[in-house]
Amino acid sequence: MSNKNNLEQKAQRLIFESGDEGIMQSELWKKLGVSSREGSRLALKFEQKGTIERRKILHNGRWSYKLYSKKEYVTLDVINGCPCMICDEIDKCFEGGSKNPLSCYELSQWISPKS
Amino acid sequence: MSVSDETLYNIAKVLGGEQGVEIIKVLKENQDITVENISAITNIQINDVRKLLYKFYNHSLVTSKRFRDKETGWFIFQWRLQPELVEAYIQGMKQKILKKLETRLEHEKTHEFYHCGNPTCPRITFETAMDTVFRCPTCDESLRRLDNSECIEFLEIKIKELKEDLNT
């Protein structure tokens, strides 16, 4: 992976980890060890991609930007309880396979109405 | 990592139960740790630690590096978490499940089902029921039409939720 990609990933991670608090643009560049010019370009790029939000704020009497990640935590909520998650044969499961989603007992139990 | 600790531990629990969670917690705090050290910290038998680590390894949640012990000549493995792959693992799992649910939904929508009422007997499609003159091939009880509209509704909701989740 190129240094540029590494830097972008690191920047995205720092913004994401700052959570709802966000992170000052200037603070981010210091942490990344890049110039403010390079940093601003990155922030604009992320904003155009739609992965972050830049909010203009007054900080110590000067206008600056605070960065907030738009990325949400990946969770298991939507597949919670699905038996496929713990099935060792998930990759062998297909129509006509040794395991079959059309006749799988565990899957049938999961999708059947709970009494 | 865009996966919370809670989700990480949920995956560990799904794959390895409470012991799996203990091991992942240790790996989160310690990089490049041996099976023996994990066992000492968690009080889980070495063989069980090894078995669970291989299970996590098969799902790319952990990785290992090995080197040879100069004195004994044996290989020593050091294990670490691969947090950057946990998200990919979850998304990959969702993709696989989505595909299976779509296959199942299509089947549910295009077939009529019959059942004898015995919970241990499988459902029978209309075509099979015709062949057996509407008697259960397992217990020989008479078959009755099964309403699968709730299954279809459940599958449609899950598929919609999964698609929305994968697109965000």
Token pair recorded at residue B94: 């969702």
- Chain A contact set for B97 (CB, 8 A): 79, 82, 84-85
Mean pLDDT value across residues B86-107: 93
Label residue B57 by pLDDT band (50, 70, 90).
Answer: very high
Query: From A106, which residue of chain B is nearest by alpha-carbon distance?
Result: B122
List CB contacts of B145: < 8 A, sequence separation 6 or more: B112, B113, B114
Task: Tell me if A73 and B7 make a contact (CB, 8 A cut-off).
Answer: yes
Query: Minimal CA–CA distance to A13: which of A66, A67, A77, A49?
Result: A67
- For residues B33 and B27, the answer to whether their CB atoms sit within 8 Å is yes
Nearest to A102 among B3, B7, B107 (CB): B107
Q: Annotate B26-68 with three-state secondary structure.
A: HHHHCCCECHHHHHHHHCCCHHHHHHHHHHHHHCCCEEEEEEE
pLDDT digits (tens, 9 = 90+) for B122-164: 889 999 999 999 999 999 999 999 999 999 999 999 999 999 9
Mean pLDDT value across residues B72-84: 89
**pTM of the complete model beyond 0.80:** no
Q: How far A62 CA sits from the closest chain B CA (Å)?
A: 32
Query: From B120, which residue of chain A is nearest by alpha-carbon distance?
Result: A105
Average pLDDT over chain B, rounded to whole? 91
Query: From B2, which residue of chain A is nearest by alpha-carbon distance?
Result: A73
Q: Which of B1, B2, B165 to mutate to test the interface with A (most CBs of A within 10 A)?
A: B2
ipTM above 0.90, yes or no: no
Task: Tell me if A16 and B154 make a contact (CB, 8 A cut-off).
Answer: no
Q: What is the largest CA-CA distance in chain B?
A: 74
Task: Tell me if A84 and B90 make a contact (CB, 8 A cut-off).
Answer: no
Label residue A40 by pLDDT band (50, 70, 90).
Answer: confident
- CATH code, residues A3-69: 1.10.10.10
Query: From B110, which residue of chain A is nearest by alpha-carbon distance?
Result: A102
List CB contacts of A92: < 8 A, sequence separation 6 or more: A98, A99
Token pair recorded at residue B126: 């209309």
Label residue A96 by pLDDT band (50, 70, 90).
Answer: confident
Nearest to A111 among B11, B87, B151 (CB): B151
What chain B holds in terms of domains, given with CATH numbers, is 5-81 (1.10.10.10), 89-167 (no CATH)
> Containing H/E element for A57?
strand A52-59
Nearest to B104 among A79, A101, A105 (CB): A101
